[in-house]
Copies of this chain bind each other. A is one copy, B any other.
Amino acid sequence: MAGSLTLLLFCGFTAPKPPRRDAAPRTTTVRPNIIVFLVDDMGWQDTSVPFWKQMTDLNRRYHTPNMERLAKEGVKFTNAYATPLCTPTRTSLMTGLNVAHHRVTNWTSPNKDTSTDYPDTVLNQVAWNVNGLSPVAGVDRTIHATTLPALLSQQNYYTIHAGKAHFGSAGTPGSDPKNLGFRVNIAGSEIGHPASYLGEDNYDRPVNGKHNRNAVPGLETYHGTDVFLTEALTREALKALDVPVRNKQPFFLYLAHYAVHTPIMADKRFIDKYLKAGLDSTEAKYASLVEGMDKSLGDILAYLDAQKLTDNTVVMFMSDNGGLSTTPARGGKAHTQNLPLRVGKGSVYEGGIREPMLVRWPGVVKAGSVTDQYVIVEDFFPTILEIAGIQKPAIRQSVDGRTFLPLLKNPALRDTSRALVWHHPNRWIAAEAPLVSWASALRQGDWKLVYDHRTGALELYNLRNDIGEQQNLAGQQPQKLKSLAALLTNQLKRWDAQMPTFKKTGQPVRWPEDALIQPKQ
Protein backbone atom coordinates (compact mmCIF):
# COMPACT_ATOMS: atom_id res chain seq x y z
CA MET A 1 0.00 0.00 0.00
CA ALA A 2 2.79 2.38 0.91
CA GLY A 3 4.32 1.83 -2.52
CA SER A 4 1.19 2.73 -4.44
CA LEU A 5 0.69 5.69 -2.17
CA THR A 6 4.14 6.97 -2.99
CA LEU A 7 3.22 6.61 -6.60
CA LEU A 8 0.08 8.66 -6.08
CA LEU A 9 1.89 11.37 -4.24
CA PHE A 10 4.75 11.72 -6.60
CA CYS A 11 3.16 11.21 -9.95
CA GLY A 12 3.42 14.23 -12.16
CA PHE A 13 0.83 16.55 -13.62
CA THR A 14 -1.02 15.38 -16.66
CA ALA A 15 -1.23 17.94 -19.39
CA PRO A 16 -4.63 18.04 -21.06
CA LYS A 17 -3.22 20.28 -23.77
CA PRO A 18 0.20 21.58 -24.69
CA PRO A 19 1.47 24.67 -22.89
CA ARG A 20 0.64 27.95 -24.59
CA ARG A 21 3.46 29.66 -26.30
CA ASP A 22 3.23 32.83 -24.29
CA ALA A 23 3.57 30.84 -21.09
CA ALA A 24 6.80 29.17 -22.10
CA PRO A 25 9.74 29.55 -19.69
CA ARG A 26 12.16 32.29 -20.56
CA THR A 27 15.77 31.53 -21.08
CA THR A 28 17.72 34.02 -19.07
CA THR A 29 20.91 33.91 -17.14
CA VAL A 30 19.72 36.53 -14.68
CA ARG A 31 18.19 34.77 -11.73
CA PRO A 32 14.79 36.14 -10.84
CA ASN A 33 14.09 38.01 -7.66
CA ILE A 34 11.49 36.36 -5.50
CA ILE A 35 8.98 37.99 -3.20
CA VAL A 36 6.73 36.02 -0.92
CA PHE A 37 4.03 38.37 0.34
CA LEU A 38 2.45 36.45 3.20
CA VAL A 39 -0.57 37.75 5.08
CA ASP A 40 -1.52 36.56 8.53
CA ASP A 41 -4.98 35.15 9.17
CA MET A 42 -6.37 36.40 5.90
CA GLY A 43 -9.35 34.39 4.69
CA TRP A 44 -10.03 33.21 1.17
CA GLN A 45 -12.79 35.77 0.74
CA ASP A 46 -11.10 38.76 2.42
CA THR A 47 -10.49 40.42 -0.92
CA SER A 48 -12.22 42.03 -3.85
CA VAL A 49 -10.59 39.37 -6.03
CA PRO A 50 -13.11 36.57 -6.47
CA PHE A 51 -11.46 33.22 -5.82
CA TRP A 52 -14.70 31.30 -6.16
CA LYS A 53 -16.79 30.75 -9.26
CA GLN A 54 -18.93 33.73 -8.28
CA MET A 55 -18.50 37.15 -6.74
CA THR A 56 -19.55 37.02 -3.10
CA ASP A 57 -20.83 39.58 -0.63
CA LEU A 58 -17.43 39.42 1.03
CA ASN A 59 -15.68 40.16 -2.27
CA ARG A 60 -17.90 43.20 -2.54
CA ARG A 61 -17.14 44.21 1.04
CA TYR A 62 -13.35 44.32 0.77
CA HIS A 63 -11.27 46.66 -1.35
CA THR A 64 -7.98 45.19 -2.52
CA PRO A 65 -7.14 46.96 -5.78
CA ASN A 66 -3.53 45.85 -5.73
CA MET A 67 -4.49 42.22 -5.37
CA GLU A 68 -6.77 42.84 -8.34
CA ARG A 69 -3.79 44.15 -10.23
CA LEU A 70 -1.71 41.13 -9.28
CA ALA A 71 -4.50 38.79 -10.37
CA LYS A 72 -4.77 40.64 -13.66
CA GLU A 73 -1.05 40.39 -14.29
CA GLY A 74 -0.50 36.90 -12.95
CA VAL A 75 -2.19 33.62 -12.17
CA LYS A 76 -4.90 33.08 -9.61
CA PHE A 77 -4.89 29.83 -7.65
CA THR A 78 -8.46 29.01 -6.73
CA ASN A 79 -7.56 25.91 -4.76
CA ALA A 80 -4.50 26.91 -2.75
CA TYR A 81 -4.14 25.57 0.75
CA ALA A 82 -2.22 26.19 3.93
CA THR A 83 -2.61 24.53 7.32
CA PRO A 84 -5.26 25.73 9.78
CA LEU A 85 -2.72 27.70 11.85
CA CYS A 86 0.21 30.06 11.55
CA THR A 87 3.41 28.37 12.81
CA PRO A 88 2.53 25.07 11.13
CA THR A 89 2.09 26.86 7.80
CA ARG A 90 5.23 28.94 8.17
CA THR A 91 7.26 25.87 9.07
CA SER A 92 5.90 24.07 6.00
CA LEU A 93 6.78 27.01 3.79
CA MET A 94 10.32 27.22 5.15
CA THR A 95 11.01 23.46 5.04
CA GLY A 96 8.82 21.91 2.38
CA LEU A 97 7.44 19.52 4.98
CA ASN A 98 3.84 18.62 5.61
CA VAL A 99 2.53 19.53 9.03
CA ALA A 100 2.09 15.90 10.05
CA HIS A 101 5.70 15.35 9.12
CA HIS A 102 7.31 18.36 10.85
CA ARG A 103 5.11 17.98 13.90
CA VAL A 104 4.75 21.69 14.57
CA THR A 105 1.03 21.04 14.65
CA ASN A 106 -0.06 24.06 16.71
CA TRP A 107 1.10 27.66 17.02
CA THR A 108 4.27 28.04 19.04
CA SER A 109 4.32 29.99 22.25
CA PRO A 110 6.79 32.88 22.44
CA ASN A 111 7.99 31.13 25.58
CA LYS A 112 10.18 28.05 25.33
CA ASP A 113 8.92 24.56 26.14
CA THR A 114 5.36 25.77 26.40
CA SER A 115 2.55 23.91 24.74
CA THR A 116 -0.22 26.22 23.55
CA ASP A 117 -2.74 23.37 23.53
CA TYR A 118 -5.88 24.20 25.41
CA PRO A 119 -6.70 21.56 28.06
CA ASP A 120 -9.20 19.00 26.87
CA THR A 121 -11.35 16.60 28.88
CA VAL A 122 -11.30 13.81 26.30
CA LEU A 123 -7.83 13.63 24.80
CA ASN A 124 -4.27 13.96 26.01
CA GLN A 125 -1.83 16.27 24.29
CA VAL A 126 0.72 14.87 21.88
CA ALA A 127 4.41 15.64 22.20
CA TRP A 128 4.38 18.00 19.24
CA ASN A 129 7.28 20.32 18.44
CA VAL A 130 6.29 23.12 20.78
CA ASN A 131 9.51 25.04 20.12
CA GLY A 132 8.98 25.15 16.38
CA LEU A 133 11.60 25.11 13.66
CA SER A 134 15.33 24.85 14.32
CA PRO A 135 18.20 25.33 11.86
CA VAL A 136 20.48 23.27 14.11
CA ALA A 137 20.28 19.87 15.75
CA GLY A 138 19.85 19.21 19.43
CA VAL A 139 17.15 21.70 20.30
CA ASP A 140 14.39 20.04 22.26
CA ARG A 141 11.02 19.70 20.64
CA THR A 142 11.88 21.34 17.37
CA ILE A 143 11.93 20.17 13.79
CA HIS A 144 15.50 20.42 12.63
CA ALA A 145 15.46 21.19 8.94
CA THR A 146 17.29 22.98 6.17
CA THR A 147 15.46 26.22 5.54
CA LEU A 148 14.51 27.93 2.31
CA PRO A 149 16.28 31.24 3.03
CA ALA A 150 19.45 29.39 4.03
CA LEU A 151 19.48 27.60 0.69
CA LEU A 152 18.82 30.85 -1.16
CA SER A 153 21.52 32.66 0.80
CA GLN A 154 24.01 29.98 -0.09
CA GLN A 155 23.27 30.70 -3.72
CA ASN A 156 23.97 34.39 -3.24
CA TYR A 157 20.36 35.53 -2.89
CA TYR A 158 20.05 38.57 -0.67
CA THR A 159 17.44 37.36 1.80
CA ILE A 160 15.21 39.74 3.71
CA HIS A 161 12.73 38.91 6.40
CA ALA A 162 10.17 41.59 7.21
CA GLY A 163 7.27 41.25 9.61
CA LYS A 164 6.04 38.31 11.59
CA ALA A 165 8.46 35.40 11.94
CA HIS A 166 6.93 33.14 14.59
CA PHE A 167 9.10 30.19 13.61
CA GLY A 168 10.32 29.23 17.05
CA SER A 169 10.11 30.09 20.73
CA ALA A 170 12.37 32.61 22.44
CA GLY A 171 15.60 31.06 23.65
CA THR A 172 15.79 28.73 20.66
CA PRO A 173 17.76 29.53 17.49
CA GLY A 174 14.61 29.43 15.38
CA SER A 175 13.21 32.50 17.06
CA ASP A 176 15.62 34.72 15.12
CA PRO A 177 15.08 34.85 11.36
CA LYS A 178 18.80 35.52 10.92
CA ASN A 179 19.54 32.07 12.26
CA LEU A 180 17.22 30.65 9.62
CA GLY A 181 19.18 32.10 6.72
CA PHE A 182 17.79 35.62 6.44
CA ARG A 183 20.47 38.24 6.01
CA VAL A 184 18.20 41.03 7.14
CA ASN A 185 15.50 40.81 9.77
CA ILE A 186 12.94 43.55 10.14
CA ALA A 187 10.68 43.23 13.16
CA GLY A 188 10.55 39.44 13.26
CA SER A 189 10.83 37.42 16.45
CA GLU A 190 9.16 34.64 18.39
CA ILE A 191 5.90 36.55 18.65
CA GLY A 192 2.82 35.58 16.71
CA HIS A 193 0.92 38.84 16.67
CA PRO A 194 1.59 42.49 17.47
CA ALA A 195 0.65 44.07 20.77
CA SER A 196 -0.53 47.07 18.76
CA TYR A 197 -0.52 48.25 15.16
CA LEU A 198 -0.04 51.86 16.19
CA GLY A 199 3.15 53.85 16.00
CA GLU A 200 1.56 56.00 18.69
CA ASP A 201 1.75 52.91 20.92
CA ASN A 202 5.28 52.06 19.79
CA TYR A 203 3.64 48.84 18.52
CA ASP A 204 3.50 47.89 22.18
CA ARG A 205 0.89 47.77 24.89
CA PRO A 206 2.65 47.56 28.23
CA VAL A 207 1.25 45.32 30.93
CA ASN A 208 1.95 46.39 34.49
CA GLY A 209 4.57 48.81 33.30
CA LYS A 210 6.47 46.13 31.41
CA HIS A 211 6.69 45.73 27.68
CA ASN A 212 3.96 43.57 26.27
CA ARG A 213 5.05 40.04 25.43
CA ASN A 214 3.95 40.84 21.91
CA ALA A 215 5.59 44.24 21.51
CA VAL A 216 6.93 44.37 17.96
CA PRO A 217 10.73 44.70 18.02
CA GLY A 218 12.94 46.86 15.93
CA LEU A 219 10.81 49.65 14.53
CA GLU A 220 11.97 52.39 16.89
CA THR A 221 12.14 54.87 14.00
CA TYR A 222 8.36 54.87 13.88
CA HIS A 223 7.70 55.05 17.61
CA GLY A 224 5.54 57.96 18.51
CA THR A 225 4.45 58.51 14.92
CA ASP A 226 1.12 57.78 13.30
CA VAL A 227 2.64 55.18 11.00
CA PHE A 228 0.59 52.00 11.05
CA LEU A 229 2.57 48.79 11.51
CA THR A 230 1.74 47.53 8.02
CA GLU A 231 3.13 50.74 6.55
CA ALA A 232 6.25 50.72 8.71
CA LEU A 233 7.10 47.18 7.62
CA THR A 234 6.60 48.09 3.99
CA ARG A 235 8.83 51.14 4.17
CA GLU A 236 11.57 49.20 5.92
CA ALA A 237 11.30 46.32 3.49
CA LEU A 238 11.64 48.69 0.53
CA LYS A 239 14.60 50.37 2.19
CA ALA A 240 16.24 46.97 2.65
CA LEU A 241 15.65 46.12 -1.02
CA ASP A 242 17.76 49.08 -2.07
CA VAL A 243 20.92 47.16 -1.16
CA PRO A 244 20.55 44.15 -3.50
CA VAL A 245 18.98 46.34 -6.16
CA ARG A 246 21.96 48.65 -6.09
CA ASN A 247 24.35 45.68 -6.13
CA LYS A 248 22.36 43.88 -8.82
CA GLN A 249 22.15 40.89 -6.53
CA PRO A 250 19.07 38.66 -6.77
CA PHE A 251 16.89 38.99 -3.71
CA PHE A 252 14.39 36.97 -1.76
CA LEU A 253 11.99 39.18 0.16
CA TYR A 254 9.75 37.40 2.61
CA LEU A 255 7.33 40.13 3.63
CA ALA A 256 5.14 38.46 6.21
CA HIS A 257 2.71 41.03 7.48
CA TYR A 258 1.41 40.99 11.03
CA ALA A 259 -1.85 42.12 9.46
CA VAL A 260 -4.59 41.00 9.48
CA HIS A 261 -4.16 39.10 12.76
CA THR A 262 -5.72 40.31 16.01
CA PRO A 263 -5.71 42.81 17.67
CA ILE A 264 -8.22 44.03 15.12
CA MET A 265 -7.43 47.75 15.11
CA ALA A 266 -8.52 50.45 12.73
CA ASP A 267 -6.12 51.53 10.04
CA LYS A 268 -7.35 55.12 10.00
CA ARG A 269 -6.34 55.61 6.39
CA PHE A 270 -9.00 53.20 5.23
CA ILE A 271 -11.71 52.68 7.82
CA ASP A 272 -14.15 55.45 6.98
CA LYS A 273 -15.68 53.88 3.91
CA TYR A 274 -16.33 50.63 5.72
CA LEU A 275 -18.09 52.36 8.58
CA LYS A 276 -20.11 54.39 6.13
CA ALA A 277 -21.09 51.18 4.39
CA GLY A 278 -22.71 50.16 7.66
CA LEU A 279 -20.32 47.34 8.50
CA ASP A 280 -20.13 45.98 12.01
CA SER A 281 -17.54 48.05 13.88
CA THR A 282 -15.04 45.25 14.28
CA GLU A 283 -15.53 44.11 10.73
CA ALA A 284 -14.92 47.67 9.53
CA LYS A 285 -11.63 47.69 11.41
CA TYR A 286 -10.80 44.32 9.94
CA ALA A 287 -11.54 45.57 6.43
CA SER A 288 -9.24 48.53 7.08
CA LEU A 289 -6.48 46.11 8.11
CA VAL A 290 -7.05 44.21 4.88
CA GLU A 291 -6.90 47.35 2.75
CA GLY A 292 -3.79 48.56 4.58
CA MET A 293 -2.18 45.25 3.71
CA ASP A 294 -3.26 45.64 0.10
CA LYS A 295 -1.76 49.14 0.01
CA SER A 296 1.53 47.59 1.07
CA LEU A 297 1.29 45.18 -1.85
CA GLY A 298 0.69 48.15 -4.11
CA ASP A 299 3.77 49.90 -2.75
CA ILE A 300 5.87 46.83 -3.45
CA LEU A 301 4.58 46.57 -6.99
CA ALA A 302 5.17 50.28 -7.54
CA TYR A 303 8.73 49.91 -6.28
CA LEU A 304 9.35 47.08 -8.72
CA ASP A 305 7.97 49.23 -11.53
CA ALA A 306 10.09 52.22 -10.56
CA GLN A 307 13.21 50.09 -10.33
CA LYS A 308 12.34 48.28 -13.58
CA LEU A 309 12.38 44.99 -11.71
CA THR A 310 8.85 43.92 -12.50
CA ASP A 311 9.79 41.61 -15.34
CA ASN A 312 12.42 39.75 -13.40
CA THR A 313 10.66 39.41 -10.08
CA VAL A 314 8.32 36.62 -9.08
CA VAL A 315 5.68 37.94 -6.69
CA MET A 316 3.80 35.32 -4.69
CA PHE A 317 0.82 36.32 -2.61
CA MET A 318 -0.37 33.92 0.09
CA SER A 319 -2.04 33.75 3.49
CA ASP A 320 -1.09 31.41 6.30
CA ASN A 321 -4.49 30.07 7.32
CA GLY A 322 -8.18 30.77 7.02
CA GLY A 323 -9.77 33.93 8.32
CA LEU A 324 -10.52 34.04 12.01
CA SER A 325 -14.19 33.21 12.48
CA THR A 326 -14.65 33.13 16.24
CA THR A 327 -16.49 36.03 17.88
CA PRO A 328 -15.01 37.92 19.50
CA ALA A 329 -12.39 38.81 18.27
CA ARG A 330 -14.28 38.93 14.95
CA GLY A 331 -17.57 40.78 14.62
CA GLY A 332 -20.83 39.61 13.17
CA LYS A 333 -22.10 36.06 13.47
CA ALA A 334 -19.50 33.44 14.31
CA HIS A 335 -18.18 31.33 11.43
CA THR A 336 -19.72 33.41 8.65
CA GLN A 337 -16.53 35.33 7.89
CA ASN A 338 -15.30 32.91 5.24
CA LEU A 339 -18.54 32.11 3.46
CA PRO A 340 -19.14 30.17 1.30
CA LEU A 341 -16.45 28.20 3.16
CA ARG A 342 -17.20 26.44 6.41
CA VAL A 343 -15.78 27.71 9.74
CA GLY A 344 -12.36 29.43 9.66
CA LYS A 345 -8.91 29.56 11.24
CA GLY A 346 -8.08 26.46 13.23
CA SER A 347 -10.41 24.15 11.33
CA VAL A 348 -9.61 21.54 8.69
CA TYR A 349 -12.81 22.55 6.94
CA GLU A 350 -12.14 24.72 3.91
CA GLY A 351 -12.66 27.94 5.87
CA GLY A 352 -9.58 27.14 7.89
CA ILE A 353 -7.22 26.12 5.13
CA ARG A 354 -8.13 27.58 1.72
CA GLU A 355 -6.10 30.66 0.83
CA PRO A 356 -6.07 33.54 -1.60
CA MET A 357 -2.98 32.80 -3.66
CA LEU A 358 -1.64 34.79 -6.60
CA VAL A 359 1.62 34.55 -8.51
CA ARG A 360 3.00 37.04 -11.00
CA TRP A 361 5.99 36.36 -13.16
CA PRO A 362 5.89 38.32 -16.40
CA GLY A 363 7.00 36.27 -19.37
CA VAL A 364 6.43 33.00 -17.56
CA VAL A 365 2.99 33.31 -16.05
CA LYS A 366 0.24 34.29 -18.45
CA ALA A 367 -1.43 37.49 -17.32
CA GLY A 368 -4.95 37.01 -15.99
CA SER A 369 -4.77 33.24 -15.92
CA VAL A 370 -6.46 30.98 -13.42
CA THR A 371 -5.61 27.53 -12.18
CA ASP A 372 -7.98 25.28 -10.32
CA GLN A 373 -5.32 22.74 -9.49
CA TYR A 374 -4.94 22.34 -5.77
CA VAL A 375 -1.60 23.18 -4.19
CA ILE A 376 -0.47 23.42 -0.58
CA VAL A 377 1.92 25.68 1.27
CA GLU A 378 4.82 23.21 1.48
CA ASP A 379 4.90 23.40 -2.33
CA PHE A 380 6.42 26.89 -2.08
CA PHE A 381 9.71 25.39 -0.91
CA PRO A 382 10.56 23.25 -3.97
CA THR A 383 8.96 25.77 -6.31
CA ILE A 384 11.08 28.65 -5.10
CA LEU A 385 14.22 26.54 -5.19
CA GLU A 386 13.43 25.64 -8.76
CA ILE A 387 12.67 29.25 -9.70
CA ALA A 388 16.00 30.25 -8.19
CA GLY A 389 17.66 27.62 -10.31
CA ILE A 390 19.05 25.74 -7.35
CA GLN A 391 19.95 22.26 -8.53
CA LYS A 392 20.22 19.35 -6.15
CA PRO A 393 20.32 21.37 -2.97
CA ALA A 394 21.64 19.70 0.17
CA ILE A 395 18.50 19.32 2.24
CA ARG A 396 18.45 17.20 5.36
CA GLN A 397 14.70 16.62 5.34
CA SER A 398 12.71 14.59 2.86
CA VAL A 399 10.58 17.27 1.23
CA ASP A 400 6.84 16.66 0.89
CA GLY A 401 5.94 19.69 -1.18
CA ARG A 402 5.85 19.59 -4.96
CA THR A 403 6.92 22.30 -7.32
CA PHE A 404 4.11 24.22 -8.92
CA LEU A 405 6.39 25.77 -11.50
CA PRO A 406 4.70 23.64 -14.19
CA LEU A 407 1.41 25.21 -13.17
CA LEU A 408 2.87 28.68 -13.47
CA LYS A 409 3.83 27.82 -17.00
CA ASN A 410 0.58 26.05 -17.77
CA PRO A 411 -2.30 26.72 -15.42
CA ALA A 412 -4.44 24.17 -17.22
CA LEU A 413 -2.41 21.23 -15.94
CA ARG A 414 -4.38 18.83 -13.76
CA ASP A 415 -3.51 16.18 -11.23
CA THR A 416 -6.55 14.79 -9.49
CA SER A 417 -4.71 11.88 -7.98
CA ARG A 418 -2.51 13.87 -5.64
CA ALA A 419 -3.53 13.68 -1.99
CA LEU A 420 -3.18 16.70 0.28
CA VAL A 421 -3.11 16.04 4.01
CA TRP A 422 -3.90 18.14 7.08
CA HIS A 423 -3.24 16.99 10.60
CA HIS A 424 -4.05 18.88 13.78
CA PRO A 425 -3.83 16.59 16.83
CA ASN A 426 -4.28 19.57 19.13
CA ARG A 427 -6.85 21.64 20.87
CA TRP A 428 -6.36 25.17 19.57
CA ILE A 429 -8.75 27.18 21.75
CA ALA A 430 -11.30 26.88 24.50
CA ALA A 431 -14.22 27.51 22.18
CA GLU A 432 -15.79 24.52 20.55
CA ALA A 433 -16.31 24.97 16.84
CA PRO A 434 -16.53 22.47 14.03
CA LEU A 435 -13.21 20.68 13.76
CA VAL A 436 -11.07 23.51 15.07
CA SER A 437 -9.46 20.91 17.30
CA TRP A 438 -8.34 17.30 17.05
CA ALA A 439 -8.79 16.64 13.39
CA SER A 440 -7.18 15.33 10.23
CA ALA A 441 -8.25 15.76 6.65
CA LEU A 442 -7.38 14.74 3.12
CA ARG A 443 -8.22 16.06 -0.31
CA GLN A 444 -7.95 14.05 -3.49
CA GLY A 445 -9.51 15.33 -6.67
CA ASP A 446 -12.81 16.91 -5.71
CA TRP A 447 -13.13 14.73 -2.65
CA LYS A 448 -12.49 15.80 0.89
CA LEU A 449 -12.32 13.52 3.89
CA VAL A 450 -12.35 14.95 7.40
CA TYR A 451 -11.69 12.96 10.55
CA ASP A 452 -12.71 14.00 14.03
CA HIS A 453 -10.24 12.53 16.54
CA ARG A 454 -12.52 12.78 19.52
CA THR A 455 -15.60 11.17 18.05
CA GLY A 456 -14.00 8.99 15.40
CA ALA A 457 -16.47 10.43 12.91
CA LEU A 458 -15.45 10.52 9.25
CA GLU A 459 -17.12 12.93 6.87
CA LEU A 460 -16.93 12.98 3.12
CA TYR A 461 -17.62 15.95 0.87
CA ASN A 462 -17.50 16.64 -2.82
CA LEU A 463 -16.01 20.11 -3.07
CA ARG A 464 -16.98 20.59 -6.70
CA ASN A 465 -20.65 20.65 -5.81
CA ASP A 466 -20.41 21.49 -2.17
CA ILE A 467 -17.66 23.93 -1.34
CA GLY A 468 -19.38 24.69 1.96
CA GLU A 469 -19.03 21.06 3.14
CA GLN A 470 -22.68 20.85 4.05
CA GLN A 471 -23.59 17.49 2.47
CA ASN A 472 -21.78 14.67 4.22
CA LEU A 473 -21.67 11.86 1.66
CA ALA A 474 -20.02 9.30 3.96
CA GLY A 475 -23.17 7.19 4.03
CA GLN A 476 -23.81 7.42 0.28
CA GLN A 477 -20.27 6.79 -0.85
CA PRO A 478 -18.87 4.03 1.37
CA GLN A 479 -16.25 2.94 -1.19
CA LYS A 480 -14.91 6.47 -1.65
CA LEU A 481 -14.94 6.96 2.10
CA LYS A 482 -13.00 3.76 2.60
CA SER A 483 -10.41 4.48 -0.04
CA LEU A 484 -9.76 8.01 1.22
CA ALA A 485 -9.59 6.80 4.82
CA ALA A 486 -6.99 4.27 3.74
CA LEU A 487 -5.09 6.93 1.83
CA LEU A 488 -5.08 9.29 4.81
CA THR A 489 -4.12 6.49 7.17
CA ASN A 490 -1.22 5.38 5.02
CA GLN A 491 0.08 8.88 4.60
CA LEU A 492 -0.16 9.62 8.33
CA LYS A 493 1.57 6.35 9.13
CA ARG A 494 4.26 7.05 6.61
CA TRP A 495 5.05 10.29 8.41
CA ASP A 496 4.70 8.58 11.77
CA ALA A 497 2.10 11.25 12.54
CA GLN A 498 1.31 11.85 16.17
CA MET A 499 -2.13 10.78 17.36
CA PRO A 500 -3.50 11.85 20.73
CA THR A 501 -4.53 9.31 23.33
CA PHE A 502 -7.82 9.10 25.16
CA LYS A 503 -7.72 10.25 28.76
CA LYS A 504 -10.14 7.53 29.77
CA THR A 505 -8.43 4.53 28.25
CA GLY A 506 -4.91 5.65 27.45
CA GLN A 507 -5.50 4.25 23.96
CA PRO A 508 -4.49 6.30 20.93
CA VAL A 509 -7.07 7.72 18.59
CA ARG A 510 -7.52 5.12 15.86
CA TRP A 511 -6.24 5.62 12.37
CA PRO A 512 -8.99 6.87 10.09
CA GLU A 513 -9.44 3.55 8.32
CA ASP A 514 -9.77 1.75 11.64
CA ALA A 515 -12.48 4.19 12.68
CA LEU A 516 -14.53 2.77 9.80
CA ILE A 517 -14.39 -0.85 10.77
CA GLN A 518 -14.49 -0.71 14.54
CA PRO A 519 -17.25 0.63 16.72
CA LYS A 520 -16.74 4.28 17.46
CA GLN A 521 -15.12 5.15 20.77
A residues neighboring B (CB under 8 Å): 200-202, 204-209, 223-224, 266, 271, 275, 278, 280-283, 327-328, 331-333
Contacts and interface: CB of A to CB of B under 8 A. Distances in A.
A266 to B, nearest CB: 7
Given A280-B281, A282-B282, A205 B208 contact: no
24 contacts: A200-B207, A200-B208, A201-B205, A201-B207, A202-B208, A202-B209, A205-B205, A206-B206, A208-B223, A208-B224, A266-B328, A275-B328, A278-B333, A280-B280, A280-B281, A280-B331, A281-B281, A281-B282, A281-B283, A281-B327, A281-B328, A281-B331, A281-B332, A282-B282
Contacts of A282: 281-282
A281 B330 CA distance: 8
Contacts of A280: 280-281, 331
A87 B172 CA distance: 54
A348 to B, nearest CB: 25
This chain's copy number in the assembly: 2
Nearest to A333: B278
Indicate the member of A201, A209, A281 with the most B CB atoms within 10 Å: A281
A208 B280 CA distance: 30
Contacts of A266: 328
A421 to B, nearest CB: 35
Given A200-B208, A280-B331, 11 more contacts: A200-B207, A201-B205, A201-B206, A205-B205, A206-B206, A208-B224, A266-B328, A280-B281, A281-B283, A281-B327, A281-B332
A280 B327 CA distance: 11
A208 B226 CA distance: 12
Nearest to A278: B333
Contact of A275 (B200, B207, B224, B327): B327
A386 to B, nearest CB: 45
A207 B196 CA distance: 12
A328 B280 CA distance: 11
A201 B212 CA distance: 10
A202 B207 CA distance: 7
A448 to B, nearest CB: 30
Contacts of A281: 280-283, 327-328, 331-332
Contacts of A201: 205-207
Contacts of A223: 208
Nearest to A198: B207
Contacts of A224: 207-208
Contacts of A207: 200-201, 224
A278 B332 CA distance: 7
Nearest to A272: B328
A205 B198 CA distance: 12
A206 B210 CA distance: 10
A217 to B, nearest CB: 15
A215 B224 CA distance: 17
Contacts of A209: 202
Contacts of A206: 201, 204, 206
A206 B208 CA distance: 10
Contacts of A202: 208-209
Contacts of A333: 278
A471 B205 CA distance: 49
Contacts of A328: 266, 271, 275, 281
Contacts of A327: 275, 281
A228 to B, nearest CB: 16
Nearest to A209: B202
A477 B291 CA distance: 52
